[in-house]
């Protein structure tokens, strides 16, 4: 009526070493030992292992799992809700990364020459539109912004492009200031407003993500650095400062 390590390992799909480890850190110590010192797991041990693996799969650390399982008064719902948040943010992050990879792939495959005016070309293509729709397609803000954007004429677009260039040059001129200098923040805010229209009322998180992209994606950094070396990094810092400020309000 007892299981050996190997049996338990095969049943649960973990390694023997893992069970040894769990024993060593006291998260799952078999209640019995054979005369020869062999670990003998009971059915109760198996159940506990199930719980351990469940929480491990959810991404909890072993230390946390130990307290969760040992302290019955522990608020599991609280822990699970907190963990859900964590998972959601991870998912968002991964979606951003996939977007970034797609963008880089597109630029690698589509040839490497990009004119200066095409700086924001990447934001315009179907890929980003698709991603934006996936993420915020269900919101009212998306619909409204979409309609606004569709009403733009070619002249309007050109105008917007010029505004972008102007703002970027403003920021380049302010690159000696602190990233949270009021003038810098104001320029970033103008950029945010502009992108809001094109990007369908993007939330702060996305705007911040775009700021990060500037630093990560050669398409942007190259162009930024033509304006002024190090500008991409500065812009990202400014975007972060701006987001923090807005969020803090």
Partner DNA sequence: TCTTGACCCTGACGCAACGTGAGGGTGTAG
Partner DNA sequence: CTACACCCTCACGTTGCGTCAGGGTCAAGA
Residues lying near DNA in the complex (CB under 7 A) are found at 4-7, 14-18, 20-21, 23, 34-39, 56, 61-63
Q: Is 149 exposed, middle or buried (0-12, 13-18, 19+ CB in 10 A)?
A: middle
Q: How far is the CB of 21 from DNA (least distance, A)?
A: 5
Give SS3 for 15: coil
Per-residue string for binding with its own copies, 107-146, x by CB under 8 A? -xx-------------------------------------
Distance from C-alpha of 91 to C-alpha of 140, rounded to nearest angstrom? 22
User: Based on CB atoms, which residue is closest to DNA, 94 or 118?
Assistant: 94
Distance from C-alpha of 212 to C-alpha of 123, rounded to nearest angstrom? 14
Give SS3 for 155: helix
Q: Is 200 exposed, middle or buried (0-12, 13-18, 19+ CB in 10 A)?
A: buried
DSSP state at residue 40? E
Stretch that binds its own copies, among 33-41, 45-53, 112-120, 143-151 (CB under 8 A): 45-53
Asked whether the beta carbons of 132 and 196 are under 8 A apart, the reply is no
Asked whether the beta carbons of 127 and 103 are under 8 A apart, the reply is yes
Q: How far is the CB of 189 from DNA (least distance, A)?
A: 28
User: Based on CB atoms, which residue is closest to its own copies, 182 or 229?
Assistant: 229
Ramachandran angles phi, psi of 241, nearest 5°: -60, -45
Q: Which does 84 bind (CB under 5 to 8 A by kind): its own copies, DNA, none?
A: its own copies
Residues 6 or more apart from 32 whose CB is under 8 A from it? Answer: 2, 39, 40, 41, 42
Stretch that binds its own copies, among 31-39, 84-92, 148-156, 193-201 (CB under 8 A): 84-92
Q: Is 38 in the site for its own copies (CB under 8 A)?
A: no
Q: Is 91 in the site for its own copies (CB under 8 A)?
A: yes
Please identify which residue in 14, 40, 62, 80 interacts with its own copies, judged by CB under 8 A. 80
Please identify which residue in 123, 234, 235, 242 interacts with its own copies, judged by CB under 8 A. 234
Output the furthest CA–CA distance in the chain (Å, rounded).
87
Size of the site for its own copies (CB under 8 A): 49
Which chain residues interact with its own copies by CB under 8 A?
Answer: 11-13, 43, 46-47, 50-51, 53-54, 57-59, 76-77, 80-81, 83-84, 87-88, 90-91, 94-95, 97-98, 100-102, 104-105, 108-109, 212, 215-218, 221, 225, 229-230, 232-234, 236-237, 240
């Amino acid at each position: 009526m007892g299981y050996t390590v190997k049996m338990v390992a095969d049943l649960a799909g973990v390694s023997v070493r893992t069970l040894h480890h769990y024993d060593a850190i006291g998260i799952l110590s078999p209640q019995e030992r054979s005369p020869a010192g062999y670990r003998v797991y009971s059915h109760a041990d198996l159940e506990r292992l199930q719980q351990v693996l469940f929480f491990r799969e959810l991404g909890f650390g072993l230390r946390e799992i130990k307290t969760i399982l040992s302290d019955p008064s522990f608020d599991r719902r609280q822990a699970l809700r907190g963990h859900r948040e964590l998972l959601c943010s991870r998912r968002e992050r991964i979606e951003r990364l996939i977007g970034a990879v797609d963008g880089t792939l597109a630029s690698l495959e589509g040839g490497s020459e990009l004119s200066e005016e095409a700086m924001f070309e990447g934001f315009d293509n179907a890929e980003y539109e698709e991603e934006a729709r996936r993420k915020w397609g269900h919101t009212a803000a998306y619909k409204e912004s979409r309609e606004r954007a569709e009403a733009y004429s070619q002249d309007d677009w050109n105008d917007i492009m010029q505004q972008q260039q102007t703002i970027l040059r403003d920021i380049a001129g302010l690159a000696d200031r602190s990233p949270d200098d009021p003038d810098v923040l104001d320029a970033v805010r103008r950029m945010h407003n502009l992108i809001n229209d094109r990007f369908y009322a993007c939330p702060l998180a996305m705007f911040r993500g775009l700021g990060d992209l500037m630093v990560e994606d050669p398409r942007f950094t190259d162009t930024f650095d033509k304006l002024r070396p190090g500008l991409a990094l500065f812009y990202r810092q400014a975007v972060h400062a701006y987001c923090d400020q807005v969020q803090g309000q």
